[in-house]
Amino acid sequence: MVRRRLGRRTGADVGERERIACRAIFCFVGADPATEWLTGVELDEDGFVLTGPALPFQTSMPGVFAAGDVRAGSMKRVAAAVGEGASAVASVHVVLGRRVEGPAT
């Protein structure tokens, strides 16, 4: 049993069955974002958190950031998630600087 989502075939709990001719199968689980609780922040249609363009990795809520798999458009790889987290720190510093010094005039 398969489920189609974004052109991929994933999980299997929607009651649909189809037979697929193939020589091998790779199972990929755990890729759905757990963002149901996240209110006030814009998500894409699949529940991933939208970021930018005002500041890299900043969500639609100023001062709130997202990095890694939960971020819409991210690479969904360990190295990318670590790099995004490190890069997001620069944006955090910008926001903290504005709060301490006030906006540039």
Ligand X SMILES: Cc1cc2nc3c(=O)[nH]c(=O)nc-3n(C[C@H](O)[C@H](O)[C@H](O)COP(=O)(O)OP(=O)(O)OC[C@H]3O[C@@H](n4cnc5c(N)ncnc54)[C@H](O)[C@@H]3O)c2cc1C
State the residues that interact with ligand X by CB under 6 A. Answer: 28-31, 34, 37, 68-70, 76-79, 81
Residue number, 70 or 72, with CB nearest to ligand X: 70
> How many residues are recorded in the chain?
105
Q: How far is the CB of 27 from ligand X (least distance, A)?
A: 8
Q: How far is the CB of 98 from ligand X (least distance, A)?
A: 26
Give, in order, the Cα–Cα distances in Å from 92 to each of 21, 26, 96: 49, 38, 6
Q: Residue 76, class by beta-carbon neighbours within 10 Å (0-12 exposed, 13-18 middle, 19+ buried)?
A: middle
Question: Which residue type occupies 11?
Answer: G
Question: In Å, how far from its chain's centre is CA 87?
Answer: 15
Three-state DSSP class for residue 96: helix
Q: How far is the CB of 41 from ligand X (least distance, A)?
A: 13
Residue number, 29 or 104, with CB nearest to ligand X: 29
Residue number, 69 or 91, with CB nearest to ligand X: 69
Q: How far is the CB of 45 from ligand X (least distance, A)?
A: 19
Residue number, 26 or 104, with CB nearest to ligand X: 26
